[in-house]
Amino acid sequence: MTDRSELITQFLKSAEWDHATRANLAGDASNRSYDRLTDPMHGAAVLMNAPPERGEDIRPFVKMTNWLLDQGISAPRILAADEEAGFLLLEDFGDDLFARLCGTARADEVELYTAAVDVLVHLAKAPPPADIAPYNSATYLREAQLLTDWYLPAATGQDTSPELRAEFDSLITAACDGLAQNAVVLRDYHSENLLWLPDREGIRRVGQLDYQDALLGHPAYDLVSLLEDARRDTSPDLQTAMFDHYVTQSGVDKAHFSLAYNTLGMQRNIKIIGIFARLCLRDGKPVYLKHMPRVWDHLQRDLRDPALSALADWLARHVPAPTDDVQKRIAGAGR
């Protein structure tokens, strides 16, 4: 059986990048890994290594890349591909992630976030790609169940009872029922997946990195993903200004959009708390636990919406906050 290092060598040779030097780039929570290639003739590129034997499939990424480029959005151009083996050679957007630039003298946070919101306004009006799956009530529920499957048992030390599961499922379904499915949502639209490309113009200044899980859903989802960032603090003033900017530029009804925003923020933050617990317990990655308090704070803000009061009451009664002690308990269960 040919190992992946040999397959990479073969792929780079076929793409005529076999003389490039390679340096590892920071990965993510998936099984994908990335190397930066530097070649004296071709310049720089990024190698995506997505092992199919570990459940990775680059075809959705390729499909969405081509669609985003067709919409005038800065996705990395594909320089070479081996879809069967799980390799892509991608345009290199550099290192200027929003998460790195914000708060430094090199960038204006408001300028960056305004451009990112403008991308979402543009996306909401774009004709969706063929065969894109819907972000429907069943998907919202399945994702939210990560809380009762992973976080709640680890945080309390007790299995989630069938009665609690049924109550939670009913509340989530009622909250998310009827949300529109009329826009492409990229689903991981936040500061560590957006790159600043100031030499470009308009919405093309915002480089996209992680969008292979895109679905057809409500446009508020990506906005709340951006503004209620799980990994960096965004001030209430920035959140309000960017929310209002989206409403003004898109022409949506503010009251209806606000309810969808709070509902999807609730669903997303519940899901993320469950994902971070799973990353610790199943995958041995406790580093994500440190972000839980921030996500919990976002969740509490979303739950202030009167339409979510029943769910807020249920969570207050049954789900402990991710305090230091709770995080230690989860980390201990993951060993």
Report the pLDDT value the prediction gives residue 120, as an integer from 0 to 100.
98
Residue 146, pLDDT score? 98
CATH of domain 4-91: 3.30.200.20
Amino acid present at 111 = E
Q: What's the Cα-to-Cα distance from 276 to each of 79, 139, 290, 334, rounded to whole Å?
A: 33, 18, 9, 12
Q: For 121-165, how does the pLDDT look when each residue is reduced to its tens digit (9 = 90+)? A: 999 999 999 999 999 999 999 999 999 999 999 999 999 999 999
pLDDT of residue 103: 77
The helix (H) or strand (E) run that includes residue 291 is none
Q: What is the pLDDT of residues 92-110, one digit of tens each?
A: 999 999 999 997 877 799 9
Q: What is the pLDDT of residue 28?
A: 60
Mean pLDDT of 214-218: 97
CB 295 within 8 A of CB 230: yes
Q: Are 118 and 202 in contact (CB under 8 A)?
A: yes
Q: What one-character-per-residue DSSP string does 49-105 give?
A: E--GGGT---HHHHHHHHHHHHTT-BPPPEEEEETTTTEEEEE---S-BHHHHTTST
Q: What pLDDT score does 29 carry?
A: 58
Task: Report how far residue 80's alpha carbon sits from residue 14's, in angstroms, rounded to the nearest whole number.
Answer: 9
Cα-to-chain-centroid distance, residue 241: 22
**213 Cβ contact list (under 8 Å, min separation 6):** 60, 186, 187, 188
Which distant-in-sequence residues (6+ apart) come within 8 Å of 331 by Cβ? Answer: 280, 286, 289
Count of Cβ atoms closer than 10 Å to residue 236 Cβ = 9
Cα→Cα distances 86→21, 48, 194, 234, Å: 20, 8, 23, 35
Task: Convert 136-174 to b/e letters by CB count within 10 Å (16 or more is b).
Answer: ebeebbebbbbbbbbbbbbbeeeebeeebeebbeebbee
Task: Give the phi and the psi of residue 20 in degrees, each rounded to 5.
Answer: -75, 150
Identify which of 303, 327, 287, 295 has the alpha carbon closest to the alpha carbon of residue 190: 295
Contacts of 242 (CB under 8 A, 6+ apart): 113, 114, 117, 223, 226, 227
- Give the class (CATH, top level) of 98-333: alpha beta
Q: What is the pLDDT of residue 2?
A: 59
The 10s digit of each residue's pLDDT in 301-313 is 999 999 999 999 9
Given this model, what pLDDT does residue 242 score?
98
User: In the chain, what's the furthest Cα-to-Cα distance?
Assistant: 63
- Tokens linked to 111: 């300028």
pLDDT at 320 (0 to 100)? 97
Task: Check residue 32 and give its pLDDT.
Answer: 85
Q: Are 79 and 12 in contact (CB under 8 A)?
A: no
The tokens for 245 are 């900017």
pLDDT reading at 235 higher than 80: yes
22/86 Cα distance (integer angstroms): 18
17-34 per-residue burial string, b: 16 or more CB within 10 A, e: under 16: beebeeeeeeeeeebbbb
Write phi, then psi, for 48 (nearest 5 degrees).
Answer: -95, 125
pLDDT confidence of 1, banded at 50, 70, 90? very low
Residues 6+ apart with CB under 8 A from 298: 228, 230, 265, 269
pLDDT tens per residue across span 34-85:
999 999 889 999 999 999 998 899 999 999 999 999 999 999 999 999 999 9
pLDDT for the residue numbered 177:
94
Q: How confident is the model at residue 333 (pLDDT cuts 50, 70, 90)?
A: confident
- What per-residue confidence (pLDDT) applies to 192? 94
pLDDT digit string, tens, across residues 6-19: 999 999 999 999 89
Domain layout of the chain by residue ranges: 4-91, 98-333
Q: Which long-range contacts does 77-81 make (Cβ < 8 Å, 24+ apart)? A: 79/15, 79/45, 80/11, 80/14, 80/15, 80/17
The per-residue pLDDT of the chain, averaged, comes to 94
